[in-house]
Structure 1
Amino acid sequence: MKRFLALALFIFALTPTGYTQNKPIEMALYPENKVPGNLPGPDEEKSEASGGILRVSKIKIPTLTAYLPPADKANGTAVIICPGGGYSIVAIDHEGFKVAEKFNEMGVAAFVLKYRIPDEKNQTDPSIAPLQDAQQAILTVRTNAKKWNIHPERIGIMGFSAGGHLASTAGTHFERSLIDNPDRVSVRPDFMILIYPVISADIAITHSGSFKNLLGGNASAQQLLLYSNEKQVTAKTPPAFLVHASDDGGVSPNNSIAFYQALIKNKIAAELHIYQNGGHGFGMHNATTKDEWMDRCKNWLNGNGWLKAQ
């Protein structure tokens, strides 16, 4: 695996636009796989497909998979995609790879983040491992923007379910860099796309499993408040597009509503779509409606100027 990643990075570096026959390229997220806070031990990562969903578990070595549109179609915008999975697995295909392909059709470069699963066996501080990976992904894309035909101020982050919690954490906790960043490159995303996201630790609306997996079973009130991202919105928080279903029995739609209200309170541009039905985990296609939320997302991106070529 390490030899494959090294070869992929070598080929990637030699390609002027970072794009070869429209094939995705998986790369090590951290240089030389020096992952901050990782403890020594075996890599027990496992991939399993069932019910049409590809689940990756026990992720210890994070990666970033680049999907770059052809140079003549690229508009300079990029999005980093964080698939969901309750901080216990990563649903990397229908909430990752397939979404990246759709963004390429819009001329948007997409990067699927296979972030670490919090685990005290693997990390000194499991609670910050996913955020470190999200920040490193933003740093990687921003520092390679010219090579990959991306505008450094048009880099967004997207997340589904617990991946939405991670994306919203990146969008509200960027003032403090948790990674090696000697040049102080901004790790603030320029926009957020949050799909049925976990947001809040408020007991009335929380997805307790995600918070338990991230913070452990004995999280302090201070920790829970810190990662209740509707409480962390400020005037510097980036714009957001949110999607949820009213009948979501896994993650209450009140998570999206609370975050949207916090954005509006702070005068942050935001758009929220709540479908009558759809449940949880529908990915790009809500089977209960003919409406495609990705079309609405495209309109939102276009309306904010992110699909205009630069």
Structure 2
Amino acid sequence: MKFIFSLFFFMTAILTASSQEVISLYPTDSIPNSKPTANAEKSETQGNGRLIISNITVPTMTVFRPEAGKENGTAVIICPGGGYWVEAFSHEGTDVAKVFTEWGVTAFVLKYRLPSDETMTDKTIGPLQDAQRAIQYVREHAKQYLLSPKQIGIMGFSAGGHLAGTATVHFDDQKIANPLKTSLRPDFSILVYPVIIFNGEYAHKGSVEKLLGKEPTPQQLKYFSLETQVTKKTPPVFLVHAKDDKAVKLDNTLQFADALDKANVKHDLYLYEKGGHGFGLHNPTSDVEWMKYVKEWMFGMDLILKKPKGY
């Protein structure tokens, strides 16, 4: 009971502070693949003003809606990065969501569970369950949010890009209950300096170990090496990366783009000469705003429509 009241006051504080709706992905006592544990979630604002959240065991989505009357029926679910250790919730989440609302797009910032043997029966699928549940929830509640159920995409940064990418390629491998047989396939995907490769010299070892442990099986490495999982059913993808990224090598994006090309999946990418890793919305080394190209791509691909029928 004490935990429930603590959670209630925590959620109330968030709503009061941000005036945004916060959705619980599951009932508190029915989170799948979850071990009983105290909620040790921690939020910290760094000196640069970025909000970092750690120890996440209760997944939620924060909703950012356009001004009334400006909705265009498109939604995007945003997965912040953080190496599967933490989540960079503001500069790779809420800040990006606000830009989407200016375009008439409804944004849902996903606070997904971070993999842990202490809190999960199988930590390797916990984040993916939450991403699939987010797609399922938004699609099943499309009418409530004035959305087209056929205009729901997913976006991710760094390890959040790996999570969004996993949901992009593994939508047929359902890890959650789905009684309504709702499609878990995102209609588009936007991956920003994403972790893609889990095997070999270009793998991001920190993300691999946090998600799969110190001794992953060959089957696990292949499943989560997303460049090996692309098919002709994979939805359209937009990719962003900096060529000098030392944390997540550019080869992650290039190999994924090559796999998309071979499968004849529509995609585009924007590459910065410099910028390193984790720059979020604004690359300090360039005057180019990559989100401008995302917007052009979405309109060009009819991923943003003007008042689509039937939503």
TM-score between the two structures when normalised by the length of structure 2:
0.93
Would the aligned equivalents of 1:67 and 1:104 in 2 still touch at CA under 8 Å?
A: yes
Partner residue in 1 for 2:175: 178
The 1-side partners of 2:171 and 2:21 are apart by 27
Aligned AA (1:54):
L
Partner residue in 2 for 1:31: 27
Partner residue in 2 for 1:44: 40
3-state SS of 1:126 partner: coil
Gaps of 5+ in 2: 1-5
The 2-side partners of 1:96 and 1:75 are apart by 21
Q: Which runs of 4+ in 1 moved over 6 A?
A: 5-8
Aligned counterpart in structure 1 of residue 8 of structure 2, from 3, 18, 23 = 3
Provide Cα deviations, 1:168-216, integer angstroms capped at 9, x if missing partner: 0000011021111111101110000000000011322111100100001
The 2-side partners of 1:201 and 1:276 are apart by 24
3-state SS of 2:203 partner: coil
Aligned counterpart in structure 2 of residue 128 of structure 1, from 104, 125, 141 = 125
The 1-side partners of 2:20 and 2:29 are apart by 19
Would the aligned equivalents of 1:23 and 1:67 in 2 still touch at CA under 8 Å?
A: no
C-alpha RMSD over aligned residues: 1.7
Gaps of 5+ in 1: 12-21
Partner residue in 2 for 1:91: 88
Would the aligned equivalents of 1:71 and 1:149 in 2 still touch at CA under 8 Å?
A: no
Aligned AA (2:69):
D
Provide Cα deviations, 1:10-55, integer angstroms capped at 9, x if missing partner: x9xxxxxxxxxx9421121113452101101111111112242211
Aligned counterpart in structure 2 of residue 167 of structure 1, from 164, 167, 183 = 164
The 1-side partners of 2:136 and 2:172 are apart by 14
3-state SS of 1:250 partner: coil
TM-score between the two structures when normalised by the length of structure 1:
0.93
Q: Does 1:246 align with 2:243?
A: yes
Matching of residues 78-157 of structure 1 within 5 Å: 78-157=75-154
Would the aligned equivalents of 1:78 and 1:156 in 2 still touch at CA under 8 Å?
A: yes
C-alpha change, 1:264 and 1:33, in structure 2 (3 Å) is farther
3-state SS of 1:111 partner: strand
